[in-house]
Amino acid sequence: MKLERRRSSIEIIADILRLGEAGKTEIMYSANMSFFQLQKYLKHLLQIGVIDKMTVGYPIVTYRVTEKGLRLLQNIETILEILEIEDDDSIDIQKILFDGTISNHTYQDTLV
């Protein structure tokens, strides 16, 4: 039996941004997250300006990806492609992006 690896925050953000425009329920189910996680991610994504909150009725609210969010999604997709990250890989993406390391080696070492 093979256990699924946990998604990194970056992968979760990409899942949210890929939706384009959606309400909380759709985001929660599509990105496979709890309501608590959803609230945390939406707050952060709104603060950094990669999504906008749109009121389309009362009390209907949707979230839409901004131009900045589209650029971020493209960058995430490029990084995942360069690293050839597959669903079954166990490389810690956040560690690579923020620390520049894979295990005991730096990412630059793997390019040589």
Q: Is 66 left (phi over 0), alpha (psi -120 to 50) or beta?
A: beta
| pLDDT for the residue numbered 5 | 65
| pLDDT for the residue numbered 83 | 79
pLDDT along the chain (112 residues), means of 10: 68 92 92 93 95 86 94 91 63 56 45 41
Dist CA 37 CA 58 (whole Å): 24
| pLDDT for the residue numbered 42 | 95
Q: Which CATH code for domain 9-111?
A: 1.10.10.10
C-alpha angle with apex 94: 88 to 95, nearest 5 degrees? Answer: 100
Domain boundaries, the chain: 9-111
Residue 12 C-beta-side C-alpha neighbours within 13 Å: 19
pTM over 0.75: no
| pLDDT for the residue numbered 38 | 94
